[in-house]
């Protein structure tokens, strides 16, 4: 009978948070979170305060589509070498620096405009910020996965979540404070200056070790087969064909080759893991308002307790994964993220109860912080180091699209059945994720045990 692998000690698990790659994600998380609200709620507040019509502001929400389709250009970020930047900084840091330049340029462009009469230009610069932000996300995810082994990916994910929340606070409350004290132009210029945090991090930290792009292409059987079959064709055409096969085709065939019959089940698990909490998200604020809570109460509770618990859940998730491994914590995260939706059903039945509201916010955000940390670690372990950017971009898009699609029908269910029934249905949507998490946790090929306790 094999001897079970010993767990890490709590001391060793905590020490993971002092490693340089883990601390790095705190700053890169801030860099990733900073642009997000600046093209959504903060921008909407600026446009409305300057007298732009609400109907026109609504169209700006379409900018968010860029974040959901980033897998289309992820192969380019994964494989295309940038002139000068890739040679000087490496593939990941070069693309991150380029993306940060696009974000800063877009924010400076927005700061130079008066929205009244310049809406097309405002939309253009906002698109530039969003495109740069989505591109930076692709590069950061690849950088994170390649920078450290699987057993500390959850810790890196948790510090990333903390940094991301910090970026959201700076771009939300921070930008609004600066706008109220000085001007909207000053607010956006100050946010452009904060992009420097990510720039400094990129310049200070080393590029992860990986095979050169040409070496990766040469070792791809499908690329070699194409080059043999295309002998006699123009050289530039052969190089383009080899690049397209290596950048676009191979990331997908690699995943199915490695996981074979398990591949479709794994993709299904990725699609349903967050379906429960994403499906219910659209009806949370309407529930609070219909129960009679003031906007100030909602903002205070969701910001104070919500953000604190989300950060705490992320740290807890990273710590538990470091000690016990991904498998059991993946089951815990799936169950917690699903079952905490019942707190909202209880809130709907309890009525205007502040303690119940706090309990629902605390439970939901703690569970989602923990679940996000372990799930990011799991997705990172599924990703091939040869195709990190492309495969992870596909996973992250697949993770959010089903839940976002179903959330659009939330209002119809609430109108027909009421809030309590809606949140019970949302909970039921998460049950397949729990079942699949249990199956995956028992497969040592997918979730190996944690590193042994240090001697």
Taking the mean position of all CA atoms in its chain, how far away is CA 251? 20
Contacts of 303 (CB under 8 A, 6+ apart): none
Contact 276, 430 (CB under 8 A): yes
Contact 10, 455 (CB under 8 A): no
d(CA 210, CA 219): 13
> How confident is the model at residue 279, as a pLDDT?
75
Query: Could you identify the residue written with the tokens 């008066």?
Result: 114
Distances (CA, A) of 184 to 17, 45, 104, 373: 37, 10, 16, 35
> How confident is the model at residue 454, as a pLDDT?
47
d(CA 368, CA 314): 8
HEC per residue, 269-282: HHHHCCHHHHHHHC
Contact 216, 91 (CB under 8 A): no
Q: Which CATH number fits domain 261-455: 3.20.20.300, 1.10.10.10, 2.40.30.10, 1.20.1250.20?
A: 1.20.1250.20
Distances (CA, A) of 82 to 69, 86, 275: 22, 5, 37
Contact 263, 255 (CB under 8 A): yes
> How confident is the model at residue 172, as a pLDDT?
79
Taking the mean position of all CA atoms in its chain, how far away is CA 256? 23
d(CA 429, CA 408): 15
> How confident is the model at residue 314, as a pLDDT?
82
User: pLDDT tens digits for the chain (455 residues)?
Assistant: 444 555 666 676 677 777 888 889 999 999 999 998 888 777 777 877 777 776 666 666 677 778 878 888 888 888 788 999 988 898 889 999 999 999 999 999 999 988 888 888 988 999 999 999 999 999 998 898 888 776 677 788 888 888 988 898 888 778 888 888 888 899 999 999 999 999 999 999 988 876 555 555 555 666 666 666 667 677 667 666 766 776 677 777 778 888 888 888 988 998 888 888 877 776 777 788 788 887 677 777 776 777 788 888 888 887 888 778 888 889 999 999 999 999 999 999 998 888 899 899 889 889 988 888 888 888 888 887 777 777 888 888 777 777 777 766 777 888 888 888 888 998 999 899 999 999 988 877 777 666 555 44
- Region for residue 213 given its phi and psi (left: phi exceeds 0; alpha: psi -120 to 50; beta: otherwise): alpha
d(CA 249, CA 299): 46
> How confident is the model at residue 282, as a pLDDT?
66
Burial of 423 (C-beta count, 10 Å sphere; 0-12/13-18/19+): buried
Domain boundaries, the chain: 1-210, 213-251, 261-455
> How confident is the model at residue 32, as a pLDDT?
94
Gyration radius of the chain over CA positions = 23
d(CA 126, CA 122): 6
Q: 83 is written with which tokens?
A: 């002139």
d(CA 366, CA 308): 8
1-210: CATH superfamily: MFS general substrate transporter like domains (1.20.1250.20)
Contact 34, 191 (CB under 8 A): yes
Let me know if the fold of 1-210 is the same as that of 261-455: yes
Q: What is the dihedral of CA 407, 408, 410, 415, to 10 degrees?
A: 170
């Amino acid at each position: 009978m094999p001897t079970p692998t010993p767990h890490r000690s709590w001391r060793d698990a905590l020490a993971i948070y002092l490693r340089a790659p883990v601390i790095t994600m705190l700053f890169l998380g801030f860099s990733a979170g900073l642009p997000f609200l600046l093209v959504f709620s903060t921008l909407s507040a600026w446009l409305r305060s300057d007298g732009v019509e609400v109907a026109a502001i609504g169209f700006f929400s379409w900018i968010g589509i860029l974040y959901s389709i980033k897998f289309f250009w992820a192969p380019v970020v994964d494989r295309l070498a940038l002139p000068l930047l890739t040679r000087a900084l490496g593939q990941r840091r070069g693309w991150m620096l380029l993306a940060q330049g696009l974000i800063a340029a877009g924010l400076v462009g927005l700061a130079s405009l008066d929205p009244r009469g310049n809406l097309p230009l405002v939309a253009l610069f906002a698109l530039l910020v969003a495109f740069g932000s989505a591109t930076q996300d692709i590069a950061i995810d690849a950088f994170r996965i390649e920078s450290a082994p699987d057993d500390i990916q959850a810790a890196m994910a948790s510090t990333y979540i903390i940094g991301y929340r910090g970026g959201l606070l700076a771009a939300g409350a921070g930008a609004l404070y600066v706008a109220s004290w000085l001007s909207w132009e000053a607010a956006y210029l100050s946010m452009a200056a904060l992009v420097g945090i990510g720039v400094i991090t990129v310049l200070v930290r080393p590029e992860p070790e990986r095979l050169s792009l040409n070496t990766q292409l040469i070792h791809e059987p499908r690329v070699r087969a194409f080059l043999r079959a295309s002998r006699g064709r123009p050289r530039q055409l052969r190089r383009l064909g080899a690049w397209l096969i290596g950048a676009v085709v191979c990331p997908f065939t690699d995943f199915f080759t490695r996981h074979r019959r398990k591949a479709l089940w794994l993709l299904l698990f990725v699609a349903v893991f967050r379906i429960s909490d994403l499906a219910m998200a659209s009806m949370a604020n309407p529930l609070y308002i219909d129960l009679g809570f003031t906007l100030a109460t909602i903002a205070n509770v969701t910001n104070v307790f919500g953000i604190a618990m989300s950060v705490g859940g992320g740290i807890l998730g990273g710590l538990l994964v470091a000690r016990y491994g991904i498998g059991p914590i993946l089951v815990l995260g799936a169950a917690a993220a699903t079952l905490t939706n019942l707190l909202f059903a209880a809130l709907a039945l309890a009525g205007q109860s502040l303690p119940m509201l706090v309990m629902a916010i605390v439970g939901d955000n703690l569970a989602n912080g923990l679940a996000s940390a372990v799930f990011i670690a799991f997705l990172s372990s599924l990703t091939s180091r040869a195709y990190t950017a492309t495969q992870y971009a596909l996973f992250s898009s697949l993770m959010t699209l089903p839940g976002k699609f179903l959330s659009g029908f939330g209002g119809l269910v609430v109108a027909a059945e009421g809030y309590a029934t809606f949140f019970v249905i949302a909970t039921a949507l998460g049950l397949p994720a729990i079942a699949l998490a249990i199956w995956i946790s028992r497969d040592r090929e997918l979730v190996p045990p944690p590193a042994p306790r240090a001697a």
